[in-house]
Chain A
Amino acid sequence: QVQLQESGPGLVKPSQTLSLTCTVSGGSISSGGYYWSWIRQHPGKGLEWIGYIYYSGSTYYNPSLKSRVTISVDTSKNQFSLKLSSVTAADTAVYYCARAHYRDMVRGVVGWFDPWGQGTLVTVSS
């Protein structure tokens, strides 16, 4: 059974770059058919999709974050990563990695998310 685990600093200074890694176990990212995603949840609030990457390296980002987001994949380590630049306090959130099922080829949107990592709280503060 596939499991995901986020890792990275829990505290980032304003204007710096947030960097997180998601390690996938129980299955190979390279097997294809899934879209490896990042989603965040602001404290006490709802969920926001950040973007996804396919094992081939193709990516798709939420337009609201696109200018600051980079998602990359390392198939040799079975990991994918998130970088979010120029962070502010508004980027304080729990960051989840998740596996997305299905992708609409016309609209580019991916489907439902399962499973999810446990999540990691990233606080932006000086």
Chain B
Amino acid sequence: DIVMTQSPDSLAVSLGERATINCKSSQSVLYSSNDKNYLAWYQQKPGQPPKLLIYWASIRESGVPDRFSGSGSGTDFTLTISSLQTEDVAVYYCQQYYSTPGTFGQGTKLGFK
């Protein structure tokens, strides 16, 4: 299985500041035939299911605020929140869908400083 490792495990950021979450895969999730990275990002708030934010590593899901962006390729990926808002406090997960079984990172808990 591809192991997804996120860093840090937890993060505290001031309101309006930038938050950066990293995700590293144990093998490349870039498919050379179509030049796509098979990676998604989710946000999970307490008592709620995960919510899709980004797929194909950088495509923002419809309705997701543009302060959320995804970047990276191969084995190293980043989710960036450009200006933290109160509603962004949550746990964030990355997920690879390059090979079966699809696997998730352990999560990064984002809170306020």
Which A residues are closer than 8 A to B by beta carbons?
45-49, 60, 62-64, 96, 98, 101-102, 104, 107-119
Beyond A109-B97, A113-B52, 17 extra complex contacts between A and B, CB < 8 Å: A46-B93, A46-B106, A46-B107, A49-B102, A49-B103, A49-B104, A60-B100, A98-B49, A109-B99, A110-B97, A111-B38, A112-B40, A112-B52, A113-B40, A115-B49, A117-B49, A118-B49
- Assess whether B101 is in contact with A49, with CB atoms less than 8 Å apart: yes
Cα separation A62 to B101 with both chains bound (whole Å): 6
Measured CA separation A102–B34 after assembly (Å): 14
Interface of B, helix, strand, loop or mixed by DSSP: loop
Main secondary structure of the interface of A (DSSP, over half): loop
- Does B68 sit at the interface, judged by CB under 8 A? no
Given contacts A114-B61, A119-B49, contact A109 B101 (CB under 8 A): yes
Can you list 11 pairs linking A and B with CB atoms under 8 Å apart?
Answer: A45-B106, A46-B106, A47-B95, A49-B104, A63-B100, A109-B98, A110-B97, A111-B40, A114-B51, A115-B49, A119-B49
- The CA of A46 and the CA of B9, in the complex, are separated in Å by 12
Per-residue CB proximity of B62-92 to A under 8 Å, as 1/0? 0000000000000000000000000000000
Is B111 on the interface with A (CB-CB < 8 A)? no
A96 to B48, CA, bound (A): 11
Closest-by-CB residue of B relative to A107 is B99
Q: Which 9 A-B pairs have the closest CB atoms?
A: A116-B49, A114-B52, A112-B40, A109-B100, A47-B104, A112-B55, A62-B101, A111-B97, A49-B102
Beta-carbon contact of B49 and A107 below 8 Å:
no
Hey, which chain A residues are within 8 Å of B99, CB to CB? Answer: 107, 109
